Amino acid sequence: MQIVISIDDTDNLESRGTGEIASLIAEGLTEKGWGTASLVTRHQLLVHPDIPYTSHNSAMCFAAEIDEGAWEQVIGFAGEFLRRESAEGSDPGLCVVSLPGLRHTPELVEFGRRAKREVIAMPEAYQLAERLGVHLSEHGGTGQGIIGALAGAGLRLWGNDGRMKGSLTFARETVSVTELLAHPNVDEVRCVTGVQVSARDLVRLGEKPKTVLIGGASVLLVSAAESADVAWQTLHRRQLKDY
Amino acid sequence: MWRTLENGTREFLPGKENWAAAALAALDCPGFLLDVDEEVIADEERSCYNCRYRRWSAASFTCQWRFQQG
């Protein structure tokens, strides 16, 4: 059974980040034999004076394939993990979506997209989660993180928002597109200006290259290389900030 | 480069896209602390844009470090 897990508001200025907590939940799920998790993605939500957030208001999300019988255990494990590991003063929220059980995906996607441009209150998030058959729970503080958690799940399901947590690692600085596509976290290599990229082209990897979600795929964006010995180079970090 | 807000935090006046100014501001800052990797956006590692103590706003960010120190 395919699920999506999304968390938000687990950190403070001194603690580890929400992304690390998401990774630990993903690892725990695998270690316990309930299933396997995919890469964690970061989703930017609205920054606004009326929204309490630590420093960036981003949600962290991952998809997983789990045994159907593990649904309740996964929710219990993730919730308990958030309660135990979230930082003092944080307001953690957890969203778990069963894809087979999700009643109306477009509504959840639209909620996620709205959370990037509007202030949304907690009751609306709970009402939507109940209507769609989505698990949504708070695990400390005000529980305000449920809004971002639900939004993060919607954005992940949309497939056109967010960048990967962590980065791609290769033994060499220059690799072919074919080699890039063999990486489990790379579905596509695409030029930002739309120029065709061919399998034999060489790509120079910048520092900590990251994929972004486009069309439901994990896409490594490249641009024309600044030097003539290779065709492409990965984008600078600043070029990825809006994903 | 900064203006002090009523709550005591400082707002970065150059905004969100002035990479050189953000790197310069962080250069000698004793409070600079690199944020977790997924929140790092500037290619210059030591940049206010990458600092754990920046809090993004619609137009720019505020520095929470001096505020934290009281």
ipTM for this model: 0.91
**CA nearest to A206, candidates A217, A194, A191, A221:** A221
pLDDT in the model for residue A104: 95
From the list A55, A167, A238, which residue is nearest B43 (CB)?
A: A238
Question: Is A241–B41 a contact, with Cβ atoms under 8 angstroms apart?
Answer: yes
CA distance A86 to A76: 15
pLDDT tens, residue by residue, A182-197: 999 999 999 999 999 9
In chain A, the domains with their CATH numbers are: 2-163 (3.30.70.2200), 167-240 (no CATH)
What are the CA-CA distances from residue A2 to residues A35, A37, A71, A147, A194 (Å)?
10, 10, 10, 22, 32
Smallest CA–CA distance from A164 into chain B, residue: B38
Q: A89 to chain B: which residues are within 8 Å by CB?
A: none
Least confident of A106-110, A157-161, A239-243: A239-243
Residue A94 confidence (pLDDT) above 80: yes
A6 touches chain B (CB under 8 A): no
Q: A165 to chain B: which residues are within 8 Å by CB?
A: 37-38
Packed helices A105-114 and A122-132: angle between N→C axes, nearest 10 degrees:
160
Model confidence at A20, pLDDT cuts 50, 70, 90, reads very high
B63 is in which domain, residue-wise? 2-69
How many domains, chain B?
Answer: 1
To test the contact with chain B by mutation, choose from A241, A242, A243 the residue with the greatest count of B C-beta atoms within 10 A, namely: A241
